[in-house]
Structure 1
C-alpha cells in the first residue's frame, strides 16, 4: 500500500466510523464528538450555551516508509508503507530500497453532533434575550 492510500484509508475510516457511531448512539443519549467550550475541552455540560465549538482532532501518523527504485522492464520509483512483497513473473530486475520513518499529523474537525447545534441555538437565544433586556433598560 502506498502512503497516499494509507492516509486516505485511515482518515476515511475515522470519519466514517464517527458518523456511523453518531447515527447509532444518538438515540441512547451518547454523544460522539461533543461540542466544547473555550475553557473546558474534556467536560461537556448538556444544554450549555458555552459548549458550542467544534473540536479539532489531530490524527498523528508515525509510519515506516520505503523509497524504492527498480531498474528493469517497467521500473518505477515510489514511496510505500513498509511491507514485504514477493512475486515471480519472469521479469528480471534489480531493486534498491531504503526505509525511513515519517512523522506527521493532519488536523480534522469531525461532523458536529446534534448537541452542538442545540447548544448554538441556546447561545443565540441567550444573546437575543440579553439584547432585549438591554434595549428595555434604555
Structure 2
C-alpha cells in the first residue's frame, strides 16, 4: 500500500468511526467527542491543540516504510504491513529494498457530538 493511501484512509476511517459511534450512543449524558471549552495546558499534554476555536487532536503516525527498486519490480515507497513472505516462485528478479521509519502527526478536528 502506498504511504499516501494509508495515511488518507487511516484519517478517513478515524473520522467515520467517531461519527458512527456518535450515532450509536443513546445513553443519557454520554457523548463521543463532546464540545471542549477553551484550551488548557492539560489538554495540550494530551495532544489536543486549538484551531479556529475548536479542539484539534493530533493523530500520530509511526510507520515503517520500504523503498524498492530493481528489475521485475515497480519502484516506490510503501507502508510495511503483514508478514514478509520469502521463497521461490519460479521467477527470478533483482531487487534493492530499504526500510525506514517515519514519524509525524496530523492535526484533525473530530466531528462535534453536539452536531451529530
Aligned-pair Cα RMSD in Å: 2.3
Q: Structure 2 length as normaliser, TM-score?
A: 0.73
Q: Structure 1 length as normaliser, TM-score?
A: 0.63
Distance 1:65 1:91 in 2: 25
Report the secondary structure of 1:60's partner residue. strand
| 1:5 CA drift (Å) | 2.3
Distance 2:95 2:74 in 1: 10
Q: Which fold has the larger relative contact order, with Cα–Cα distance below 8 Å and residues 6 or more apart in sequence? A: 2
Say which structure is richer in strand.
2
Which structure's CA Rg is the greater one?
1
Count how many residue pairs are aligned between Structure 1 and Structure 2. Answer: 103
Say which structure is richer in helix.
1
Distance 2:16 2:89 in 1: 38
1:71-127, CA deviations, whole angstroms, 9 ceiling, x for partnerless residues? 13xx3211111242457665432111001010011110011221xx6xxxxxxxxxx
Q: Hey, what does 2:18 align to over in structure 1? A: 18
- Which consecutive residues of structure 1, in runs of 5 or more, have no partner in the other structure? 43-52, 118-138
Change (3 A) 1:88 1:8: farther
- Which consecutive residues of structure 2, in runs of 5 or more, have no partner in the other structure? 44-52
